[in-house]
Amino acid sequence: MRMFLILYVYWNGMTYIELNYEPKESDFLVWFYAEPPAGKDMRYVADRIAEESSIGTWTDLKTLLPEIWEKLRARVYEIDEKNRYVKIAYPLHLFEVENMPAILASVAGNVFGMKSVENLRVLDFRFPKELIERYEGPQYGVDGVRKMTGVSDRPFLGTIIKPKIGLPAKMHADVAYEAWVGGLDIVKDDENLASQDFNRFEDRLSLTLEKKDLAEEETGEKKIYLVNITAPYAEMIRRAELVEDIGNEFVMVDVVIAGFSAVQSYRQEGFPMAIHAHRAMHAAITRNPRHGMTMLSLAKVYRLMGVDNLHIGTAVGKMEGSAEEISGIREEIQLEDVPEKEGRFEQKWYGMKPVLAVASGGLHPGHVPAVVDILGRDIVIQAGGGVHGHPDGTRAGAKAMRQALEATMQGIGLEEYAKEHTELRKALEKFTHKS
């Protein structure tokens, strides 16, 4: 009887909709927002998504054998007409489980280009234990970076060298030194600083690390330099080897631009450096609320593939994103067990290390209390213009950031703390009216 039913479905118009299906713990789940084209309903669009993202195509196939259909088809197990939600369960047998690029090619590939879908957005993934166990995850994560730096009881403070492009290598190193001795923990390259003729990678690396050593000696604090190795993959590896040889603890990769394959492959290379993941270009994928993928779903992929730090947004400053959204991303990359919410699956991480979240984009000392209130202590608060734009320069800007954090940790209002801290007072006078 079972084979008869399968053959009947097979020859008489298949549907991937199975609303009485209970997803298995081993299933890979995807939560979509979907809009059907004119004249079609949610059942139609749900079927087309499941079909294209698993084993089907636009017409009947003589080659789609019943045993393939039974074993590998996606199953639409929930359709929410009001909210336009579609939940689909995929059997792990459908994928090469260790191959994240290929998995995404299925569930987040051709589906976005179909005429049978007006708009489509991946809201979330639910990774099963069997998949999570095939990935390395972060090498260091939150606790590892804290151990590396000795910063145990507060957020990290960082800056991005500004202007992001244009400084020669020596000046770049000098600016980094000013930021470190002013009280910041972390200095990083910006996303588009590579190895331009005025600032070659090798020169910048060696000169900046010389200044890092000097700043550590003068302050008695551990300092971190996030050097951008983003490049075509072979060159990226060559640069990583230079970083390893010189003894730096971190590299930075523009993970969206470099690509899923490069990120996964780099993590598997086994370099000892922690990975700082800049998310430049993510908004081309994530910003449209009706199409693409959420930053939440991308963040989960990057935790799985093994970054140690990840930019998640600020909820304040110049970058788009609500406090609720940014807090949700932080929870997803840091909690062990994440509860289900609207548009978001319950997710267990089975011991995979948490990722250090990074808030960056238009921040200045006046934003520090809000960022800590929204995102907690396991965060890097990065200010570029908010440091280097200080009226008295980079060192004063770094001092102002450190003073703002000291006030916040002590529960003192910034205006009150600024009465006896000139750098913070001047920063607030300049920046707060522009926020």
pLDDT in tens, the chain (435 residues): 344 444 434 444 679 999 999 999 999 999 999 999 999 999 999 999 999 998 876 567 666 777 777 888 999 999 999 999 999 999 999 999 999 999 999 999 999 999 999 999 999 999 999 999 999 999 999 999 999 999 999 999 999 999 999 999 999 999 999 999 999 999 999 999 999 999 999 999 999 999 999 999 999 999 999 999 999 999 999 999 999 999 999 999 999 999 999 999 999 999 999 999 999 999 999 999 999 999 999 999 999 999 999 999 987 755 556 888 999 999 999 999 999 999 999 999 999 999 999 998 889 999 999 999 999 999 999 999 999 999 999 999 999 999 999 999 999 999 999 999 999 999 999 998 654
CA 210 to chain centre: 30
User: How many Å apart are CA 249 and CA 208, to the nearest integer?
Assistant: 13
Q: Is 220 helix (H, G, I), strand (E, B) or coil?
A: coil
Same-domain status, 413 and 385: yes
Same-domain status, 32 and 178: no
Same-domain status, 15 and 117: yes
Same-domain status, 103 and 157: no
Cis peptide before 66 (omega within 30 of 0): no
Backbone phi and psi for residue 230, each to the nearest 5 degrees, phi listed first: -55, 125
Kindly state the helix (H) or strand (E) to which residue 32 belongs, with its residue range: strand 28-35
Same-domain status, 247 and 152: yes
The residue from 87, 278, 282, 426 that is catalytic is 278
Q: Is the Cβ–Cβ distance between 366 and 427 less than 8 Å?
A: yes
Number of domains into which the chain is organized: 2
Kindly state the helix (H) or strand (E) to which residue 20 belongs, with its residue range: none
Greatest Cα pair distance, the chain, in angstroms, is 83
Q: What is the CATH number of the domain that holds 224?
A: 3.20.20.110
Please say which residue of 112, 132, 152 terminates a domain: 132
Same-domain status, 96 and 24: yes
Same-domain status, 22 and 116: yes
Please say which residue of 97, 132, 167 terminates a domain: 132
Q: Is the Cβ–Cβ distance between 356 and 155 less than 8 Å?
A: no
Tell me which residue range forms the domain holding 58: 2-132
Q: What is the CATH number of the domain that holds 78?
A: 3.30.70.150
DSSP classification of residue 221: S
**Positions of E strands within 108-233:** 119-126, 156-160, 186-188, 224-228
The residue from 162, 172, 282, 367 that is catalytic is 162
Same-domain status, 117 and 264: no
Same-domain status, 192 and 81: no
Same-domain status, 86 and 198: no
User: How many Å apart are CA 251 and CA 421, to the nearest integer?
Assistant: 34
Known catalytic residue: 278?
Answer: yes
The region that residue 382 occupies, defined by phi over 0 for left and psi between -120 and 50 for alpha, beta otherwise, is: beta
Same-domain status, 105 and 159: no
Give the residue from 338, 332, 337 showing the smallest Cα distance to 357: 332
Same-domain status, 112 and 214: no
Within 10 Å of residue 123's Cβ, how many Cβ atoms?
19
